Structure 1
Amino acid sequence: MSKAPSSRAWVVLLAALLAVALTARLGFWQLDRAAQKQAMQTRLDERAQLPELKPSELALNAAAAPVQYERHVRVRGRWLTDKTVFLDNRPMAGRVGFYVLTPLLLDDGTPLLVLRGWAPRNAAQRAELPALPTPAGLVEVWGKLGPTPSRLYQFGAAESGTIRQNVDLSDFARETGLALRPLVLQQLATPADSSDGLLRQWPAPAVDIHKHYGYAFQWFALSTLLVGLYIWFQIIQPRRKGRIPS
């Protein structure tokens, strides 16, 4: 006559079921995150194929800005060169240097922050700024819209000064007194802009879908391992020894 499972066996079974359920749920959550990011990438790709926005259609508030990310636009205005900032530790083409951002005063009188390009840094004189030929008159800039460049880790509160790690649109607007549009125009390379010495080999937006598949595989593998361990230690081994664990 077989012996009824003890309270310890029920506790082990319950713990195993909870652990398997939790790890499996985490695996499905990672798959869901991958699906969300894939949908985001699809939306961005579709926007990039849409006709260019008109300057008059540019978002005026932060809530309307995200739907214009990756859209192309051609604007005219004058550079506000005294408000230029250099974002440090930004790589391009295998080198580390600056992202150069300058507000552009549009024809309608509103300023738009432009990510103009990348410039090298003087490794020997780290406080030295690159010389940038910037037209003083009316210019035309073509590019695609997006948020501010990705943030790097920084110590302390929001930074100021010409050289900094990051820029926040709201903070920069308060700092400069400019009523900036809630978008950044990432300037794209054209033959007319090749004389300014800036590189514009922009990386594609990183959606990181594959890392979520990797995490999902790890969670599902752990869930499967827990099932296997339970079967081995609670069913197979006791039967091989001819006893039920007490």
Structure 2
Amino acid sequence: MMLDIQNKRQQSSRWRLLSFMVFTVIVIAGLVKLGLWQSERGAHKEALERQLLTHQHQSPLSLTDIKKMPYDKITGLPMSELVNLHPRVRLLLDNQRFNGVIGYQLLVPATVASESFLINIGWLPADLSRDVLPEIPPLPKRINVTGWVKPASQLVVLDQAYLMEQFGSVYRIQTEDLAAISDQLDIELLPWVLLLDEQQDWGLPRQWNWVTMSAEKHYGYAIQWFAMALALTVALVVVVMRSRRREP
């Protein structure tokens, strides 16, 4: 009788140990995966930072030159071109901060020959009421622009009803979804946005942040995830060894 009870206790203890081991191994695998992902992000940001540094010292290119470049190499390329701005359509990119204040970034379609793309003109403050749009300053119809090429961001918008809200010829958008914008405006847009040079005076403030998180921070997070995985691995080994010592 006592032997049966002891056997049942041992089996229950082994099942608890096995469950703990399986759960811990799954957590360790998840931590390692997060560490590898942060390492990849760090390497990507490091390459991007080198690319941006190289492009800063490059002479401005024309639209024809930009189109010849591989898409993964266009970030931060300087561009100078004589463009025709759309006379009516204005896009307000929502939830954009400038010096800690929420507002919009003003985007306007521009055309060179038969090619069209968006130009980010700068920042506008938002009204306290969502029903009141900011006053958009008058813009020239034809002007030489200088700026920096940036691939369009593709943030996920859960409610598609707010993806593009139309107010006459003004659209409030939640993300630079160029496919949706092209369909709505019936204008075929190139897959990037030109950030107007901060030194060009168009009456709107602008400050472009190319990298939201540096490569060093990504590597730091990767080290943290790997350290946690190592600590759990050591703890698992200690628990298993102690359990085996207690077994008769």
TM-score of the aligned structures, taking structure 2 as reference length: 0.75
Structure 2 stretches lacking a partner, 5+ long: 1-9
Match 1:143 to one of 142, 147, 158 = 147
Q: Which residue of 1 aligns with 2:247?
A: 245
1:52 and 2:60 equivalent?
A: yes
**Number of residue pairs aligned between Structure 1 and Structure 2:** 230
Q: Which residue of 2 aligns with 1:113?
A: 118
Counterpart Cα distance in 1 of 2:136 and 2:29: 57
Match 1:38 to one of 22, 26, 46 = 46
Greater Cα shift, 196-205 or 121-130: 121-130
Residue 73 of structure 1 and its aligned partner are, at CA, apart by 0.6
Residue 176 of structure 1 and its aligned partner are, at CA, apart by 1.6
Determine helix, strand or coil for the equivalent of 1:224: helix
Match 2:89 to one of 83, 88, 102 = 83
Question: Structure 2 counterpart of 1:200, which letter?
Answer: R
Q: Which residue of 2 aligns with 1:22?
A: 29
Q: Which residue of 1 aligns with 2:7?
A: none
Counterpart Cα distance in 2 of 1:217 and 1:30: 9
Counterpart Cα distance in 1 of 2:121 and 2:158: 23
Match 2:175 to one of 166, 175, 179 = 166
Determine helix, strand or coil for the equivalent of 1:50: coil
CA RMSD of aligned residues (A): 3.4
Task: Give yes or no for contact 2:24–2:236 (8 Å, CA) kept in 1.
Answer: no
Q: Which residues in structure 2 correspond to 1:152-163 (within 5 Å)?
A: 153-156=157-160, 158-161=163-166, 162-163=171-172
Match 1:201 to one of 178, 201, 207 = 207
Q: Which residue of 2 aligns with 1:225?
A: 231
Change (3 A) 1:126 1:221: same
The superposition leaves residues 69-105 of structure 1 with CA deviations (integer Å, 9 ceiling, x where unpaired) of 2100111122103121111221112211111000112
Structure 1 stretches lacking a partner, 5+ long: 1-5
Counterpart Cα distance in 2 of 1:12 and 1:179: 56
- Percent identity over the alignment is 23
Change (3 A) 1:181 1:232: closer
Change (3 A) 1:143 1:245: same
Counterpart Cα distance in 2 of 1:141 and 1:208: 29
Question: Structure 1 counterpart of 2:104, which letter?
Answer: F
